[in-house]
Amino acid sequence: MQDNDPDRYTVRTNDVTGQVVVGQGNVVIRTNAASAATTPVTDEERGLLRAEFARVRGLVPVDEPSGDRARALLDELEEAVTGEIDLTVMDYARGWFSRHLPALAAAVTGLIVHPVVTALVTTAGGDVAQEFHRRFGGS
């Protein structure tokens, strides 16, 4: 039976990664988090992030042959998220830990997507924030 009602829609989609709007008279409003008003990251929040980096450094086994490199890379990563945002270092660190110390890969990824880091990136705004969200997720 075919329905000829003009106010009824049948929609089939495959592999949709974005929004779909079907119907008549729809109003769609989009807000980007990067363009929204941001509040500066507080010293207390920065302290929490530093403590989290220290905790992850402490997870690197003392007898690990690549332990010195791992700790140095964590230092670079901390600078990349607290100084001028450097997405290349973030990507490299995540990949390095995935290849060389997979037991710590989740902890390092947790540093990269930490709420304080996300706030710092959002504050940076523009293309940096968009690329961060493309590479590491989030909105």
Residue pLDDT, tens place only, 59-84: 999 999 999 999 999 999 999 999 99
Give CA 41 to chain center in angstroms. Answer: 16
| Per-residue pLDDT reduced to its tens digit, 2-54 | 567 767 777 777 766 666 777 666 655 554 444 444 688 999 999 999 999 99
Nearest-angstrom CA–CA distance, 73 and 102: 14
Residue 134 has pLDDT above 60, yes or no: yes
- Could you count the other beta carbons within 10 Å of the beta carbon of residue 115? 11
pTM of the model: 0.71
What residue ranges do the domains of the chain occupy?
43-136
The burial of 116, by beta-carbon neighbours within 10 Å (0-12 exposed, 13-18 middle, 19 or more buried), is given as: buried
- At position 101, the amino acid (one-letter code) is L
Residue 101: phi and psi, rounded to 5, are: -135, 70
